[in-house]
């Protein structure tokens, strides 16, 4: 077991981010002191994963008001504008917009404070968002663990791990907690084309934690399920719509369809900030499309003709009827999701 990697930290008045694009080969931490650099880190996926994007955005909002010295209303206007700017970084993970709103609403609730006090309160709010994420993940893990048994094989896709969050991860949280209990879970990590978050990140963090992890290519998931090696599939999410339809990393939908075929329960690990009751269903979740070079030139060389057409949606939507349960920090939600999510959030 090697020391756990911390992907996001606030230290000496700066945001410290582990550059996830360099993993697993290099462990490089960069220091961020401007909102523009935080925006860039989100766009280039140096920080990625819905909760980590939200936490980074909250600190980015704080960094963006450092030069404001005028009135309280000037500070609020700047915060609003900065929120609109950060919101252009990535479209799918609702945690980004949720964290921006939290910071704007925090400022709105501080009418009478001096500008310095407001800045202080906004830093406290960003730190609270950061700490809450850690607490939420542990609780999600405890709920997920009640659905598993010692010795189970679990398939996961992408990285909904400690690297994508403050600690524990969401989908990976039960793996860490099972380890604390002395259970032996066997985790299969889909490599997750095209950016390989499963092999570069999930395999790395679980391997460092001494958790039994096996990397497979995405196209092997059907085979391992057909061999009876998988007792549950657990994935994270970038946005859960009001009816339970869930956007997550491209390839998740395929895993859900396979799970249904092989009668394997398919669980979404969902922190409540990732549940978006304003979006009625999956049809209106904005799906990010990324540069096609991620597909045709991502392995250090061209893997297709340079000028060929390619299509690179970064997320897909799993319809609610393929989901066995949505596991949140507040409890486990089953169908009918719309009704039960409303009850959970009230
Ligand atoms: C706890 S992270 C949940 C999701 O954000 C994760 O599964 C995922 O799809 C991440 O996508 P990414 O494009 O790497 O940001």
Last residue of a domain, one of 95, 116, 137: 137
Q: Is the CB of 236 under 6 A from ligand 1?
A: yes
Q: Is the CB of 172 under 6 A from ligand 1?
A: no
Sign of CA dihedral 290, 295, 297, 299: positive
- For residue 84, CA distances in Å to 62, 64, 295, 303 come to 14, 12, 30, 37
Question: What is the mean predicted confidence (pLDDT) over 236-246?
Answer: 98
Q: Do 55 and 105 fall into the same domain? A: yes
User: How confident is residue 2, by pLDDT bands cut at 50, 70 and 90?
Assistant: confident
Q: What is the CATH number for 216?
A: 3.40.50.10470
Q: Name residues whose C-beta falls within 8 Å of residue 128's C-beta, 6 or more positions apart in sequence.
A: none
Total length of the chain: 346
Instruction: For ligand 1, pick from 92, 168, 197 the residue to mutate: most ligand atoms within 8 Å of CB.
Output: 197
**Is 247 flagged in the annotation as binding?**
no
ipTM of the prediction: 0.99
Last residue of a domain, one of 107, 137, 167: 137
Q: Do 128 and 181 fall into the same domain? A: no
Q: Do 218 and 264 fall into the same domain? A: yes
Residue 177 has pLDDT above 80, yes or no: yes
Q: Do 314 and 221 fall into the same domain? A: yes
Q: Is the CB of 230 under 6 A from ligand 1?
A: no
Predicted confidence (pLDDT) per residue in 32-53, tens digit: 999 999 999 999 999 999 999 9
What percent of the chain shows pLDDT beyond 70? 100
Residue 263 and residue 135: Cα distance in Å, rounded?
Answer: 32
Last residue of a domain, one of 137, 169, 193: 137
In a domain, 290, yes or no: yes
Q: What is the CATH number for 72?
A: 1.20.120.420
**Residue 272, domain extent:** 142-345
Predicted confidence (pLDDT) per residue in 275-316, tens digit: 999 999 999 999 999 999 999 998 889 999 999 999 999 999
Question: What is the mean predicted confidence (pLDDT) over 170-193?
Answer: 97
**Is 161 flagged in the annotation as binding?**
no
User: How confident is residue 3, by pLDDT bands cut at 50, 70 and 90?
Assistant: confident
Q: Do 113 and 151 fall into the same domain? A: no
How many domains are contained in the chain? Answer: 2
pLDDT of residue 112: 66
In a domain, 339, yes or no: yes
**Is 306 flagged in the annotation as binding?**
no
Residue 190 and residue 182: Cα distance in Å, rounded?
Answer: 24
Q: Do 90 and 198 fall into the same domain? A: no
Q: Do 212 and 296 fall into the same domain? A: yes
User: How confident is residue 111, by pLDDT bands cut at 50, 70 and 90?
Assistant: confident
Ranges 51-65, 110-124, 125-139, 247-261: which has the least confidence = 110-124
Question: What is the mean predicted confidence (pLDDT) over 157-177?
Answer: 97
Residue 113 has pLDDT above 90, yes or no: no
Q: Do 65 and 162 fall into the same domain? A: no
Residue 166 has pLDDT above 90, yes or no: no
Q: Is the CB of 251 under 6 A from ligand 1?
A: no
Spacing, Cα 93 to ligand 1 middle (Å): 8
């Amino acid at each position: 077991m090697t020391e756990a990697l911390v992907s996001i930290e606030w230290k000496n008045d700066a945001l410290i981010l582990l550059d996830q694009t360099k993993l697993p080969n290099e462990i490089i931490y960069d220091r961020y002191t401007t909102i523009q650099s935080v925006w860039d880190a989100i766009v280039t996926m140096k920080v990625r994963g819905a909760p980590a994007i939200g936490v980074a955005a909250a600190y980015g909002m704080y960094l963006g008001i450092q030069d404001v010295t005028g009135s309280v209303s000037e500070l609020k206007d700047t915060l609003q504008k900065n929120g609109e700017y950060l919101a252009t970084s990535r479209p799918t993970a609702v945690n980004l917009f949720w964290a921006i709103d939290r910071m704007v609403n925090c400022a709105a609730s501080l009418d009478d404070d001096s500008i310095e006090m407001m800045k202080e309160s906004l830093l406290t709010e960003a730190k609270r968002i950061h700490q809450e994420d850690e607490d939420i993940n542990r609780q999600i893990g405890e709920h997920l663990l009640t659905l598993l048994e010692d010795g189970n094989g679990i398939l996961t896709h992408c990285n909904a791990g400690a690297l994508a969050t403050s600690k524990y991860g969401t989908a990976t949280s039960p793996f860490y907690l099972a380890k604390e209990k002395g259970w032996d879970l066997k985790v299969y990590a889909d490599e997750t084309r095209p950016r390989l978050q499963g092999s570069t990140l999930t395999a790395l963090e679980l391997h460092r934690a001494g958790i039994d992890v096996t990397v497979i290519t995405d196209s092997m998931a059907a085979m391992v399920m057909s061999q009876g090696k998988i007792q549950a599939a657990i994935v994270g999410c970038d946005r859960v719509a009001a009816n339970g339809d869930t956007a997550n990393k491209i390839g998740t939908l395929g895993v859900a369809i396979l799970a249904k075929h092989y009668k394997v329960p398919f669980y979404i690990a969902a922190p409540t900030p990732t549940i978006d009751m304003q979006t009625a269903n999956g049809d209106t979740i904005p799906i990010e499309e990324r540069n096609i070079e991620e597909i045709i030139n991502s392995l250090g060389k061209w893997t297709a003709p340079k000028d060929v057409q390619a299509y690179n949606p970064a997320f897909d939507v799993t319809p609610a009827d393929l989901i066995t349960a949505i596991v949140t920090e507040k409890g486990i939600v089953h169908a009918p999701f719309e009704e039960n999510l409303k009850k959970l959030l009230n």
